[in-house]
Every structure is written in structure tokens, then in C-alpha cells.
Amino acid sequence: MANINAAKKLFKNDDVKVWNEAKLRYSDSVARVAETKKKMELIDLDGWLHTKFSKSLTQKDGRTPKKDAFTKDMLVKIMTWKLTRGKFRPLIGKVQSNTEPSVKKAWNEVVSLYESEKYDGSCLDIPLEAVNKISALHGIGTFL
């Protein structure tokens, strides 16, 4: 409960210094979660997610998504990372039931949204629509 209260306190805080200090402790926090849950693969998955994953999805500008860049293997890794961090839910089988073509199709629909002339970065309509496209895959969902 102490960790939940600390998280709530952090999210209510708008001091950049406090957030930067929390960011410095992030790796240690991930390691503690991995150790507590006896899921040491979380450390490698977290490292992959925060270093290699996003770079593999975007053009050289770091912002523009690449077509066909998102794979079923990536989807399974992300969901494994997510499920390893929190409360156990037997969703990985559903996630693995997605086909490579269905994952590529959903991702390419997301890329098309961002390539459209109507997206200028000033509103949330396109990002929300993108989340809905990916959420249509088996075992993927949102609380939006």
C-alpha cells in the first residue's frame, strides 16, 4: 500500500525536480518489482521497451512511424512486460493468437492516421483513434 500511496502523491505533484528524482530511481524500482514477483525477465523487457522498441518503430526523425515496423513478436513482448509488472491476468494466450498479418494491418492503419493531412499534433483525436486500432487486436484493451 505504501507504494500505491507514493505513486498517488507523485502524480499529484507538478514539481519537475520531484519527477526527475523519481525517474532516477526508476531502474531500481523495476528491479525490486522483478525480484518481488520473481520475474527477472522484467528487467530485460523494460530495457528493450525503453531503448530499442520505440526506435524500431519510427523514421530517422524519431517521430514519424514506419509502415510494417510493428510485429506480433513485439506485441507479445510488450504484453509480457505489462503483465509481468502488474496483477496476473491470463491474457498472453489471447495476445499470441493474433496473426502477423492482423498485427501489421492494425499497425499500418495507425501509421496511415499519422500520415493523414488532418493530423497536426494539436489534438487527441488521432492518438485516440490509433489506440482504438491497436486495441481491436485479441487480448489488447484500454480503459479509455
Give 97-115 pLDDT, tens digit per residue.
Answer: 999 999 999 999 988 888 8
**127 and 56 in a common domain:** yes
How far is C-alpha 112 from the chain's CA centre? 19
Name residues whose C-beta falls within 8 Å of residue 11's C-beta, 6 or more positions apart in sequence: none
Region 39-58: mean pLDDT is 89
Cα–Cα distances in Å, from 65 out to 75, 111, 130? 16, 6, 12
**139 and 77 in a common domain:** yes
Region 29-44: mean pLDDT is 89
Q: What is the pLDDT of residues 52-110, one digit of tens each?
A: 888 888 878 777 778 888 999 999 998 888 888 877 777 788 999 999 999 999 999 98
**87 and 27 in a common domain:** no
Which range of residues forms the domain containing residue 27?
A: 1-38
**97 and 55 in a common domain:** yes
How many domains in the chain? Answer: 2
**62 and 4 in a common domain:** no
**12 and 55 in a common domain:** no
pTM over 0.75: yes
Report how far residue 15's alpha carbon sits from residue 81's, in angstroms, rounded to the nearest whole number. 29
